[in-house]
Structure 1
Amino acid sequence: MVVHLSVNASVLNGPGTFQNNVYKIHSLGGLLPFVEWTFIFIPILFHAIVGMAIVGGALPNTHNYRYAANYRYTLQRATGVIAFFFIMWHVFHMHGWFHSEAWMENVAKPLDGANFKPYNATSTAGTALLGVGMALFYVVGILASVYHLANGIWTMGITWGVWTSPKAQQRASAVCAVFGIVLATVGLAAEWGVRNAVSTPEKLEAVRQQEATMLKANIATGAVVPDEHKEWRPEQAESDGEQEASLHGSEAEMTESR
């Protein structure tokens, strides 16, 4: 999560920086799915299955015992559930889960999935998050995920006997709180960054032109392998145009109402 949010936040340094970072990730080629499943998806699924089993047997007791530890206990489980469904949706929303043509055409795209194109990182991620409802959903998901991670590190330290004394636990709690605040800030900044980069039709067009120029240059040098499945193409403009115009219009209306 730290790496993912940090890479996404690099868009604050400009769409070009973010795009170069995405190029580096996809330079792994055929190894990328192995890395993703081995170090990301399988651990998350295992953690989620175990976590759901724990949640199923846990009863909140904040009404009887109004202690901070009890609230953290309940929040840890609640945010775990939120984070799991958010991550599942996020992967579908951006990547579509599966990459078979039949799945993409008949399931992912009709359900607003598979929006992200690695060779057009900023423009596709940004337009996928332009809707106010989707943006707010991502805010909740990011905050829940970050809290679950930061507080989970603290509770893991207690369970594993890393910090056992009350003072050690208090210090660890402070460190985890700072870590959580910093990571949440990075995550929310990343979301704002990609949305802001395409917040007007003019900005969106400028970003797309920059991405096209970068892709052409990187293909010419051999740094990037051409792949139509990773690239947004102009023929998609007509189908995407109505949605983008609607989203930009909604943003403008909200700005005027303020």
Structure 2
Amino acid sequence: MSELTRSQSFFIRHEFAIRRLHSLLGIVPLGLYMCIHLTTNASLLNGTETFQRAVYYIHSLGAALPLVEWGGIFLPLLFHAILGVWIIKTGKSNLGSYKFTGNKRYTWQRWTGLIAFVFLMLHVLHLHGWFHFGPWLAVMKPLGFANFYPYNAASSLAMAMDDWAWGLFWPAFYLIGVWATVFHLANGLWTAGITWGLWISPSAQERATKVCVAFGVLLTVIGTAAWWAAVAPGPEEIAQARETENEMYEAALKTGLVYDMPEKRYEGEEAIADEEESGEIDAIIIEETVIIETEGTDAGADETDSGGDDSDETADADSDE
């Protein structure tokens, strides 16, 4: 028996702990971050100032921001997603034989998990480009990726959503992605309670179902509001938001709320590109001298007149003495 145990994979030997870690990370920090993220984006409905102020507070972390993103978001997401794919591959659904609601939710949980993973990966690529080094961004930006600027949050978000396929692809993609992710989280809360033994009896599971459904409906409303706030602005609203953001940036820079990082501004990015381009071009200034030739008679007359003026000035000087 011990030889069989040793021959088993690491996951099989530690399945109890790994599954609980998988469900826990799906709630904290990923589920918690998703609630905060959607609520922050929905605050755009209250105006550019509210949304931009929230983004400023996030980016005021400065050099610590990448540590928070990787430690609290990206690494837990990768672990949760990779393990989720393994569970999907090894799990067996009996939905074809038994049309129970629980079996349907089991299947929907797996499919929405895959949709959510693809959505989140493309979402990060679309707005942030995955990586922040020059050669990579030089390729991604012309393709319509990495075009979100934190210091011009509302305007750059709306512009990014209006790209591709006459502005139709990204809004549809985000709406489906947000709804699938919300379902995956709300239903995942219910299954996590089963995994952790929080609700085992039928009555406890019924109460938990009502709570998770209410939570899912509320988060769907918030997520849809966040989606609408990003896709609704037109050119005039975007221009107005850009003006407000620039005014807020100057004030935030003076108070020390934000750091002077031109790459996080829409205009700053263009200024950097213009400086790089102008540095490669040498300016050549050519002076032209225009010579006008006059006729000899006119020149002689001018000399006579000038001589007369000099004699008059001399006479005036003598009389003064």
TM-score (norm 2): 0.71
How far has the Cα of 1:111 moved from its partner? Answer: 3.0
How far has the Cα of 1:185 moved from its partner? Answer: 1.0
1:166 aligns with 2:199: no
1:133 aligns with 2:169: yes
Structure 2 Cα separation of the partners of residues 83 and 223 of structure 1: 33
Counterpart amino acid of residue 119 in structure 1: Y
1:150 aligns with 2:186: yes
2:221 to 147, 165, 185: 185
Aligned residues: 234
Matched with 2:86 is 53
Structure 1 Cα separation of the partners of residues 184 and 202 of structure 2: 21
SS in 2 for 1:138: helix
1:225 aligns with 2:259: yes
**1:77-134 residue CA offsets vs partner (Å, 9 max, x unmatched):** 000000001000000101000000000002x213321011000000011111122221
Matched with 1:39 is 72
Structure 1 Cα separation of the partners of residues 244 and 179 of structure 2: 31
Map of 1:179-218 to 2, 5 A cutoff? 179-196=215-232, 198-199=233-234, 201-218=235-252
33 and 42 in structure 1: CA distance in 2 versus 1, 3 angstrom threshold: same
Matched with 1:248 is none
Matched with 1:90 is 123
Structure 2 Cα separation of the partners of residues 22 and 235 of structure 1: 18
Matched with 1:15 is 48
Matched with 2:5 is none
Segments of structure 2 that go 5 or more residues without pairing to the other structure are 1-33, 272-321
Structure 2 Cα separation of the partners of residues 19 and 215 of structure 1: 9
Q: CA RMSD in A?
A: 1.4
Matched with 1:252 is none
Matched with 2:147 is 115
235 and 74 in structure 1: CA distance in 2 versus 1, 3 angstrom threshold: closer
* Structure 1 segments of 4+ aligned residues over 6 angstroms from their partners: none
- Percent identity reads 50
Larger Rg: 2
Structure 2 Cα separation of the partners of residues 194 and 236 of structure 1: 23
How far has the Cα of 1:235 moved from its partner? Answer: 7.5
SS in 2 for 1:66: coil
TM-score (norm 1): 0.88
Structure 2 Cα separation of the partners of residues 170 and 128 of structure 1: 42
**1:187-245 residue CA offsets vs partner (Å, 9 max, x unmatched):** 1101101222x22x2111111100111101111222211111110018759xxxxxxxx
Matched with 1:240 is none
SS in 1 for 2:74: helix
Counterpart amino acid of residue 36 in structure 1: E
Structure 1 Cα separation of the partners of residues 91 and 48 of structure 2: 44
Map of 1:23-34 to 2, 5 A cutoff? 23-34=56-67
Counterpart amino acid of residue 241 in structure 2: V
Counterpart amino acid of residue 215 in structure 1: Y
Segments of structure 1 that go 5 or more residues without pairing to the other structure are 238-258
How far has the Cα of 1:60 moved from its partner? Answer: 3.2
**1:33-85 residue CA offsets vs partner (Å, 9 max, x unmatched):** 11111111111100001000011123433221101001000000000000001
Structure 1 Cα separation of the partners of residues 217 and 161 of structure 2: 22
